[in-house]
């Protein structure tokens, strides 16, 4: 018997490996780059999984579109990498960097010792 999980939108039972509910279309798994077939950053493999096509077709499309886009597609690729986490439970690289930078402004409250 296949492992099943419940959709958070319609409570329908769906297969464990499904990323969207077939009944209501709600995403049951966060968009992430940690997929099989990952070569460089996982963006093409992530897009192939979401579109339901072969990863080689997405890679060829990215190369062809890069040649015809005047170099703007690599910027889109980097933005997709920056905004999507490497795993379903992880945080995106941009979010990790912003959290790291925000800690510089914080300082611990001075500890005062009171002696009586």
CA distance 10 to 7: 6
Neighbours of 91 (CB within 10 A): 13
46 has a pLDDT exceeding 80: yes
pLDDT tens across 92-107, in order?
Answer: 778 788 887 787 766 6
pLDDT the model gives residue 28: 62
Asked if residues 55 and 107 have their Cβ atoms less than 8 Å apart, the reply is: no
Residues sharing a CB contact under 8 Å with residue 62, sequence separation 6 or more, in sequence order: 44, 73, 77
pTM: 0.62
pLDDT confidence of 64, banded at 50, 70, 90?
very high
Residues of the chain above pLDDT 90, percent: 6
- What mean pLDDT comes out for the span 71-85? 86
- Residue ranges per domain, the chain? 31-89
pLDDT the model gives residue 52: 80
* E strand spans, 1-116: 4-6, 13-15
* E strand spans, 25-83: none
pLDDT confidence of 17, banded at 50, 70, 90?
low
pLDDT the model gives residue 61: 92
């Amino acid at each position: 018997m296949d492992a099943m999980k419940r959709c958070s939108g319609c409570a329908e039972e769906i297969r464990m490996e499904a990323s969207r509910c077939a009944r209501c279309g709600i995403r049951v798994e966060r968009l992430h780059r940690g997929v099989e077939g990952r070569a460089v950053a996982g963006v093409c493999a992530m897009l192939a999984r979401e579109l339901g096509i072969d990863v080689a077709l997405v890679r060829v499309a990215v190369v062809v579109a890069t040649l015809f886009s005047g170099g703007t597609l690599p910027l889109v690729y980097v933005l997709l990498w920056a905004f999507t986490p490497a795993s379903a439970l992880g945080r995106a690289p941009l979010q990790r960097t912003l959290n790291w930078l925000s800690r510089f402004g914080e300082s611990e409250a001075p500890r005062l010792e009171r002696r009586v």
